[in-house]
Structure 1
Amino acid sequence: MLHLLYALALLLLLSGACAVLADTGNISPAALPLPLLSGAVAVLYLCGIPGLLRVGAVLVLLALAAVWVAALVKMRPAGVLTACKNALSVPGFVLFLGGAAFIWVLFFVQQPMFTQWDEFTAWGLAPKMMVERGAFYVADPVNLKASFTYPATSLFTFLFQPFGQWAEWACLAAVDTLALACLAAAAALPRDRWASGVLVFAAGFLLPFFFSATPTGSYATQYVNAMADLPMAMLFGGVLCLYFAVGRRKYAYWLTALPLAVLTLTKDICFAYGLIAAFVIGLDLLFAADKPLKKAFPQALLKAGALAVVVLAAFLSWGRYTAAVTPTADTAASVGSEGLSYGAVLVGGVKQLLGIGRTEKFAQIMSAMGSAFFTRRICLLGSGVLAVAAITLVAAAAWLAAGKGAPRRRVAAAYCGLAFCFAALYLFHLILYYYNFSDLEGLMLKDYDRYLAPYYQAWMLAMLCLLANGARERLAQLAVSGAAAVILAVYCWRGVPVAGFWSNADSLYTLRTDVQSHAETMNTVLDWPDRVLVISQGDDATRWYYYRYELTAQVVNGFGGIYIHQGETQDRWDGDFMNLVESESSTLYAYQTVCVPDTLVAYMAEKDCDYILIDRADNYLQDNFSPLFEGGLTNDMPPTLYHFEGADAAVPFTLAAVAERGVE
């Protein structure tokens, strides 16, 4: 309940600040939630670097409260009330505020949980650690397991739960609040065009479903997802929409720098997305200006260059910070198993694109990428070529709806700029598939739709925003209605999932809740400095990752292959989870670690482990490892935590905690 009350109070403070600033700055209140939320995240980021995240949260609250106090003094209560009434007459702002409140109440009632692997390995684990520890995860030794993620989504989560009590549903609601703020920027239209604002907001809300490849009959995770895909798409499109709403104003233009910096800190590829946004804004400043190109060029170069500097500063600052706090880790930017720099990858990739030293693997991936654009499903309409066709139709409608001169040049510049950058990004992903993936994953174009769908989504959102901005005549407003109606019709025709953010998903949580209940028992004994080896026989890594997420301790990685403990190793590689098998039955599990009792004890000592958790045993453990454990092992035993007494102890493993028997 505390999370819900805090979130609603924060939204109330934010909405009042938006109303007051919109009234004094003559800006649409719908355009302000995105830069204000991004500014709050920027404050948290700057405070997090010296380890003062909770101080940053207090500063954000004080800053929002200061806006209220200053407004009450200057405008009097009557003026503040009038500003709030005016803000509540703007559809984009009302939809943001009402939608965010609805999501928070809905998720509080439903208590949705994480369901995807990447949420447990990084995108859900990182904000959990940040909330619980009150520090950037890379600065805390126990949090290094999530260090490869970027901090933006974690900071948004921390903004809404800075008091140290973690709630997965609140993390999901925070991510959705960010998405709604981006949609509000797209719908920041004058009051007399409220219908267009509503339609753009509604169509934008459906875009994550429209540009998806969710299998029929499955649970749609578009708005129940802690990963960076939704924030990346929404922020990329939201930055452009925010610029289209306020960018021509002298000071308001720089509001775009705040979400642009946050976009850069969302994911590694977002460095490219940020530069693309700055490039497209620069094209608009150049070609949509009411002056000749020669006169517009210096200002366009200066402003777009300044935004590019913001992107570069955000990107480099995070790299320098992670390098500073993890001096023993390899924090250099590299790609693939060979550890090539991005520069070497780009140079090598361009050479192969030009046919210089092209390998057979590169030729095969290039052919697959070319074919995928026409055959691989990327949206509800089908392949990428159909997605581009749909975006082009919306852009054509926006061009026709816009007035002659600068408005039409704006649409043309935005569309052509985004099309050019999409082609470049497509080729960049071709190069990454060659350098950063195994042969099998590269040839199958692993996660193709996930990597490219955010760009399509943002591109369409920007075109819808331009269409609504230019739709002043009745016929043009019909075009906005038509575009939104088509998106809704296709969604209803081919895209309505059987379940999503609006429905409970208890059936997906059976295994989660089982591991969670066991982990709660173990956490009564464990603390963060403790090191635990988790063994779950027959596991495909799912239960191992769940424990890694749930346990308040450092879960030690296992090893794969054969381990010889007497001073040397043979056929051994570092892994994550382990299934322990004997050599003569090494085909028992898909993931094998040949291990005998002495090997297990030696490995525990080598990794300085304090505990071992036997989540699920089997006959091999029962028959061969029982003498090592107090009370012995049975193949049907409940999850049990043992303390490691040392290699020289008569009984190396003594009982520490026993959970109730759960799901098998």
Structure 2
Amino acid sequence: MVTLLAGLALLALLGGACAVLASACRLSAALWPLPLLAGGAVLLYGFGLAGALPVGAAVVWLALAAVCAAGVVRLRPAGFLRACRAALCTPGLALFLGGSAFFWLLFFVQQPMFTQWDEFTAWGLAPKMVVERGAFYVADPVNLKASFTYPATSLAAYLFLPFGRWAEWACLAALDTLALACVAAASALPRPRWAAAVAVFAGGVLLPYFFSDPAPGAYATQYVSAMAELPMALLFGGTLCLYFGTAPRRGLVWLTALPLALLTLTKDICFAYGLIAVFLIALDQLAAGPLRKRAVPALVQGGGLAAVVLAAFLSWSRYTAAVTPTADTAASVGSEGLSYGAVLLGGVRQLLGIGREAKFAQIMAAMGDAFFTRRVCLLGSGVLAVAAITLVAAAAWLAAGKGAPRRRVLALHLGFALCFAALYAFHLILYHYNFSDEEGLALKDYARYLTPYYQAWMLAMLCLLGRGARARLSQAALGGAAAVLAAVFCWRGVPAAGFWTNADSLYTLRADVQRRAAAMNTALDWDDRVLVLSQGDDATRWYYYRYELTARVVNGFGGFYGRLGETEDRWDSDFMNLVESENWTLYDYKAVCVPETLVAYMAEKDCDYLLIDRADDYLEREFSPLFEGGLTNDMPATLYHFEGADAEVPFTVAVATESEVR
């Protein structure tokens, strides 16, 4: 309940601050949630670099409260209430606050949890570590490598969870609040044009579903995901929509720097996304009037925003390198450890046909074919997605006034297309250098990498159409575009389950590990080092434990470690299963180990505990003498304290627990 009240309280402060700023600056109240949230996260980022995240959260909350208090003093209570009522009558802000409150209340009741693999390896683990530890995972890594993820999603979650009370549902609600702030910026239209604002907002909310390829009957994770794709797509599009709303006010256009910085901190590819956004803003500035008059302002503004992107990117990379100067933080690509510059230069040379390798040629052919055949939206392939976006852009061009407004729509659409071609070529280069031969030729995660760009492109065109739709025909075009999105969603995209339904059936295995880990945590602390064994596991349970345990989970090994002092036949891994040499083929991922070498490995890795999640006949037969009370193949999950290699019984029981699922 405290977490829910904190989330709703921050929403109330945001609403009050938006009302005060809209009244003071004569700018649509719907434009303010995005720069306020992004600005709060960027301010929090600065405090995080200094190792003072809790102080930063307090400053952000107090700053929002101070804006509200200043509004009460300046406008007096009656005037402040009038400003709040006027702001709530702004369609975009009302939809943002109502939608965000809906997510917070719904998720509080449903208590959704993470379900995707990468949420446990990085994207969900990172905000959990930040909230529980009150520090960036880079300076305090525990179970997360410094290079795994960028901090934007963790900052957004921490902004709503500053009291160290971690809740997965609240993290999901915080990220959805940020997403809705981006959509609100696209729908920032005056009250008399409420229908157009509702159409743009509805279309923006449906875009993550429209640009997807759902499996029949699958659980839709679009708004129940800690992954970076949703924030990345909507921050990219939302930054441009914020620019469209602030462009007439030259001083306020610099508000775009705040979401632009947060976008850059969302994912490694977002450095490119940030620069693309800057390029499009500069292109719009040039198209707004005569070139001789607009060149200098465009150069100044574009240079300033590019400096923001570069500062955000370099500050994080320099911070990770300074705090943990290891190979994990090195800026390299692929198994050969090439620099980004070397990869880009080599890729461009091969694109031009200079020294082109067979693998590159095969991937290039596959990428060319994929644009016409791989599904990236409910309509089908990328070429159909671009066609749909172009239709919306054409409607926006017709709705815009003659002269500069139409030039700007055309320039932006063509700029998006040009940058998409460059981004497409960049992913071709990455598939060659950053993936194995099998993954590269299969274009692994092709749709996941490209759909954020399509979403942002469509959101920007919907925003331009909404801003230009004043005549009845253009209003009908906007309503038709939103209706088509909804119709296609209902026709092909309505999932069997999503954020509006419970997903208990997906949590069975997760809940089992969670119960066991909760029992183990009574004896563990963050400084403890634990080796986890779960015989027959495919790494799923290992990653669940790594997420749930309040301790550092030590990596296992693969290969052969059958004699003391001989380590050349083993390799580092994540999880491990212990097997006999004659049973080598029974496991996909295995570590041949004898009792003496298990003890030696525990000592080598300075482990404090061994957690046996699931045992088997091999452990029972060969390893029982090492453990207090012995082992059985059907034993409950048990945490053993490691007494040392010289102890008569190296492993003594610390915690034993039963579980409902075996």
User: What amino acid is the match of 1:517?
Assistant: R
Residue 600 (structure 1) aligned with residue 598 (structure 2): yes
Identify the match of residue 476 of structure 2 among 478, 495, 515.
478
Residue 2 (structure 1) aligned with residue 11 (structure 2): no
Counterparts of 2:395 and 2:23, CA distance in 1 = 32
Does the 8 A contact of 1:563 with 1:594 survive in 2?
A: yes
Aligned-pair identity (%): 76
State the 1:397 CA deviation.
0.7
Distance 1:91 1:504, change over 3 A: same
Does the 8 A contact of 1:536 with 1:616 survive in 2?
A: yes
Does the 8 A contact of 2:138 with 2:146 survive in 1?
A: yes
Instruction: Show the counterpart of 2:135.
Output: 135
Identify the match of residue 345 of structure 2 among 338, 344, 347.
347
Instruction: Show the counterpart of 2:434.
Output: 436
User: What amino acid is the match of 1:529?
Assistant: D
Instruction: Show the counterpart of 2:372.
Output: 374
State the 1:209 CA deviation.
0.4
Counterparts of 2:393 and 2:141, CA distance in 1 = 49
Residue 572 (structure 1) aligned with residue 586 (structure 2): no
Instruction: Show the counterpart of 1:103.
Output: 103
State the 1:146 CA deviation.
5.6
Counterparts of 1:564 and 1:287, CA distance in 2 = 70
Instruction: Show the counterpart of 1:276.
Output: 276
Does the 8 A contact of 1:565 with 1:602 survive in 2?
A: no
State the 1:143 CA deviation.
4.7
State the 1:572 CA deviation.
1.4
Question: Deviation digits for residues 11-65 of structure 1, max 9, x if unmatched?
Answer: 1111001011001100000000000001100111011111111111111111111
What is the alpha-carbon root mean square deviation over aligned residues? 0.9
Residue 313 (structure 1) aligned with residue 303 (structure 2): no
Instruction: Show the counterpart of 2:522.
Output: 524
User: What amino acid is the match of 1:212?
Assistant: S
User: What amino acid is the match of 1:623?
Assistant: R
Instruction: Show the counterpart of 2:30.
Output: 30
State the 1:394 CA deviation.
0.5
**What is the correspondence of 1:142-157 to structure 2 with a 5 Å cutoff?**
142-145=142-145, 147-157=147-157
Does the 8 A contact of 1:397 with 1:467 survive in 2?
A: yes
Q: SS of the counterpart of 2:50?
A: coil
State the 1:570 CA deviation.
2.9
**What is the correspondence of 1:7-26 to structure 2 with a 5 Å cutoff?**
7-26=7-26
State the 1:247 CA deviation.
1.9
Counterparts of 1:118 and 1:330, CA distance in 2 = 18
Counterparts of 2:639 and 2:146, CA distance in 1 = 24
User: What amino acid is the match of 1:304?
Assistant: G
Q: SS of the counterpart of 1:217?
A: coil
**What is the correspondence of 1:201-216 to structure 2 with a 5 Å cutoff?**
201-216=201-216
Counterparts of 1:182 and 1:214, CA distance in 2 = 24
State the 1:147 CA deviation.
4.5
Counterparts of 1:316 and 1:392, CA distance in 2 = 35
Does the 8 A contact of 1:113 with 1:169 survive in 2?
A: yes
Counterparts of 2:563 and 2:296, CA distance in 1 = 67
Distance 1:275 1:565, change over 3 A: farther
State the 1:328 CA deviation.
3.7
Identify the match of residue 388 of structure 1 among 386, 389, 395.
386
Does the 8 A contact of 1:126 with 1:146 survive in 2?
A: no
Q: SS of the counterpart of 2:142?
A: helix
Counterparts of 1:69 and 1:661, CA distance in 2 = 52
Instruction: Show the counterpart of 1:118.
Output: 118
Which has the higher mean CA deviation after the structures are superposed, 80-89 or 93-102? 80-89
Q: SS of the counterpart of 1:145?
A: coil
Q: SS of the counterpart of 1:604?
A: helix
Counterparts of 1:69 and 1:26, CA distance in 2 = 19
User: What amino acid is the match of 1:157?
Assistant: A
Question: Deviation digits for residues 99-154 of structure 1, max 9, x if unmatched?
Answer: 00010000000000000110001100010010001011111142543642100100
User: What amino acid is the match of 1:448?
Assistant: Y
State the 1:327 CA deviation.
2.4
Does the 8 A contact of 2:367 with 2:428 survive in 1?
A: yes
Residue 636 (structure 1) aligned with residue 639 (structure 2): no
Residue 232 (structure 1) aligned with residue 232 (structure 2): yes
Does the 8 A contact of 1:541 with 1:577 survive in 2?
A: yes
Question: Deviation digits for residues 436-478 of structure 1, max 9, x if unmatched?
Answer: 0011111111111100000000000000000111111011000
**What is the correspondence of 1:187-198 to structure 2 with a 5 Å cutoff?**
187-198=187-198
Does the 8 A contact of 2:147 with 2:328 survive in 1?
A: no
Counterparts of 1:444 and 1:147, CA distance in 2 = 25
Counterparts of 1:332 and 1:299, CA distance in 2 = 37
User: What amino acid is the match of 1:398?
Assistant: A
Instruction: Show the counterpart of 1:494.
Output: 492
Counterparts of 1:449 and 1:646, CA distance in 2 = 50
Instruction: Show the counterpart of 2:455.
Output: 457
Q: Which runs of 5+ in 1 are unaligned?
A: none
User: What amino acid is the match of 1:103?
Assistant: F
Does the 8 A contact of 1:137 with 1:147 survive in 2?
A: no
State the 1:571 CA deviation.
2.5
Does the 8 A contact of 2:542 with 2:575 survive in 1?
A: yes
Q: SS of the counterpart of 2:219?
A: coil
TM-score when scaled to structure 1?
0.99
Q: SS of the counterpart of 1:647?
A: coil
Does the 8 A contact of 1:398 with 1:411 survive in 2?
A: yes
Instruction: Show the counterpart of 1:220.
Output: 220
Does the 8 A contact of 2:615 with 2:633 survive in 1?
A: yes
User: What amino acid is the match of 1:586?
Assistant: W
Q: SS of the counterpart of 1:311?
A: helix
Instruction: Show the counterpart of 2:264.
Output: 264
Instruction: Show the counterpart of 1:515.
Output: 513
**What is the correspondence of 1:520-559 to structure 2 with a 5 Å cutoff?**
520-559=518-557
User: What amino acid is the match of 1:560?
Assistant: G
User: What amino acid is the match of 1:199?
Assistant: A
Instruction: Show the counterpart of 2:301.
Output: 303
Q: Which runs of 5+ in 2 are unaligned?
A: none
Does the 8 A contact of 1:230 with 1:454 survive in 2?
A: yes
Number of equivalent positions: 662
